[in-house]
Structure formats: C-alpha cells, structure tokens
Amino acid sequence: MATVPLHPPEPEPDFVELQAQPAPEPVSRARQQDEPHPHRLEQYPPGASDPGRRRLGWLRNLALVVLLPTALVAIFQYCVIANQYESETHFVVRTSGQSGSAGSGLGQLLGLETNPTAADNQTVVDYLLSHDAVANLQRSVGLASIFLRPEADIFSRLERDAPPETLLRYYREMVNVDVGRETGITRISVRAFRPADAERVAQELLKIGEQRVNEFNKRLLENRLTGARESLMTAERGVGETQTALTGFRQSGRDIDPERTSTARITMVTQMQAELAQARARLSSMASALRRDSPQYVTMAARVRGLEQQVAAAEGSLTGSHRATAAGLGQFETLRLRQAFAAKRFEAATAALDAAREQAVRQQLFLVRVVEPNLPGKALYPKRLKLVATVFFALLLTYAIGWLILAGIKEHAA
C-alpha cells in the first residue's frame, strides 16, 4: 500500500517569478555604523551599551593624560624634594643729610630722614649679590657646605666642588634681594635646608652690608678731606716761610721791631726840628738886641748850628742810604703783609677742612635694620600644593583642548 505525503511539495518558482521579485533595500553607511557588529559585541561584556564604552575610554584617557602625571608630580614633590626654610630681614640705607618727609614716623624715630637715595640702596644690593659677598660668606659661614647639607635632595642641592661661577649662580637662586620703590626698604630673603642656616646667612648678609657701608663712608671721607688737607699743608708752609723770613730780617738788622724804631726816630726828628725852630727864633730876636760878637749871640748861634746838624743827620738816617730806616721799614712791612696773607690763607684752609669734614659727615651712609632675621619654624618651599594643582589644571586644560580638536576632526571625517 502506497503512502500519501502529508504536505504536498511546493512548486518550485520559475525563473520569471524570481526576476519579478523586488531587490532588497540597500542599508546606509550611517546605519551600518550604528548597528553593532556581532564580532564587536563579543569584545564587551553582555549588557554594555555604546555610551558606556565611550565613557570608559574617556576615563582611561583622562587617567593616562591627567591623573597619572599629576600623581607622579605629587609623589616627586612630597617624597623626593627636600624642605627649604626661608629667613627674611629688612633694612634701609640712609644719609644724615637727606631731606625726608616731615610726617614720617620712621625718620623721626631713627633721627634720620626717610627719603632714600635709590643709588645708595642699589649699591648695597649689587654688592650683596656679587661674588665679593659670596667670597665673604664662604670665609665666614662656609656657604658651600650650607647648600650641601645631608637634608638636601639631589635635585635641589649644590653640586660638589662647584666652581665660583656655579656657586654664585646657585647663591642668587637661594638669596633674593629687592628694594621697595615707594619705601626704599631693602628686603633680603634667604632659603636653606635648615632653619638655623637660613637665619645665619641672613645675619651675615646684614653684617657684611654694614661693613661695606662703612667702607663707603671711609672712602668718601678720604676723598672729601684729601684736597682740604693739601691746601692746609700748603698754607702751613707759607706761614712758616714768612715767619722764618721775618725772623731773619730782625736778626740781620738787629732790630726787633723796625716799625717802632722808625716811629721813635721820626718823633725824635720832629722834636729836634721843633727845638731848632725855637733856637732860630731866639737867635733872630737876639740879633736885633745884641751884637753878633757878644757871648750870648755866639752861644745861641752855635746851638742853632748844632741842632741843624743833628736834624740833618737824623733825616739822613731815615731816608738817605740803603741801610736807612725807611728802606728797612719797607722791607719789614712787606714781610708783615706776607705774614698776614699767609695767616689768612691758613685760616681759610682750616675752615675749608672743617667744612669738608662736616659735609662728609652729612653724606655718610647708615644701614638701619628695620626687621631682624627670623628663625623659620615651617618650610615654605617648595610650594608643593600650588605646583601639583598647577600641573593638574594645566594637563586638564590640555586634555580638554585635545579632545575638542579630535572630536572636530572625527565629525568632519564622517
């Protein structure tokens, strides 16, 4: 008995019917990108969505670009870099002759004016940052050994057996000296790896600054007084020369005071002339009453002739020969004038020396300590938190800018 099939076989479609069926609709590229590929789905855990995968990638990139470098910087700053302590001191350079503001309490308190001279302050600042100051600190406190303490890390400390140029450059990194424009107060800040070292270096800087100011004052005083002293020495030599000449004149002429001698001789001649005049008057009166051969007349006539001879001799001693009193008196007066001129010159030179000394004193510099160096109790450097925060935000900003640039490139490529 033949079996009958339950389902009759379907007729096979002919070629015409297959050609009549419409072609399948093409899938767009964007749709293909949106639809997950079966092989791609196998790379992620079941139930993970496409936004979740993008979020994981963003966090991974953020950790690699921002968080990891920031963590490395933080570890380096907090675990490797050594603490640095800062000691600070303030001083001001003044001159006793400066004109300051009337209402300044500091100037009234210190007895000095408060308008500083910028050149004076800058001179001291330049010296404190010079190789001379470094050499003085090296001799007094062992500056290189302070910057090579065991507490210092390998990145911050001074290199061993550093040449003077390297020591100077490192010193200028650890020591800061600046002048306030309005107040004129100079601020010194010293960093070291030990609190006591920072305070010690600051104290020594003040000391060598005061020594330098004293050297400036000494040099200024010498420059001011050199010319005045030379003028005074010249005046002293002039006084000595005139005094020697006057003494020689007196010894050669055997006359202590020719002026008085001349006055006495003139007085004597005047008296003799008066006496001669009286004798002539009497002789004239006797001539009218007596004969010329009378004894009284002869005696008076002889007296008149004697007085005339005395007067002529006295007048000749005054104005006659080279050794006369008039010539000696002229030479003596010349020497007296030279002596007076030398004395005036000596007085002027002495006054000039005193004035130069007073001016030098008025222009002397004074280093006045405003704030003494402190012993630091807390390390102020390095600024770890500030540095780590700066690195973090800088990397975060860089990452954000890079992400925006890449997103724009992908959008244009699509």
Q: Which of 386, 378, 387 is nearest to 86 (CA)?
A: 378
- Strands (E) across 217-278 are located at none
The 3-state secondary structure of 188-230 reads EEEEECCHHHHHHHHHHHHHHHHHHHHHHHHHHHHHHHHHHHH
Query: Across the chain, what does the average pLDDT equal?
Result: 80
> Distance between CA atoms of 138 and 197, rounded to whole angstroms?
13
- Mean pLDDT for 45-66 is 74
**Secondary structure element (H or E) that encloses residue 340, with its range:** helix 325-362
Look up residue 350 and give its two tokens.
């002495």
- Judge whether 83 and 376 are in contact, CB under 8 Å: no
pLDDT higher than 50, residue 201: yes
Domain definitions of the chain by residue range: 84-97+113-225+364-384, 244-362
Residue 230 has pLDDT above 50, yes or no: yes
pTM of the model: 0.62
Mean pLDDT over 114-123 rounds to: 69
For residue range 139-162, list pLDDT tens digits in order.
Answer: 999 999 999 999 999 999 999 999
**Paired strand residues for 188:** 89, 177
Query: In this model, does residue 236 exceed pLDDT 70?
Result: yes
**Report for 19-33, 89-103, 298-312, 385-399: range of highest mean pLDDT:** 385-399
84-97+113-225+364-384: which CATH architecture? Answer: 2-Layer Sandwich (3.30)
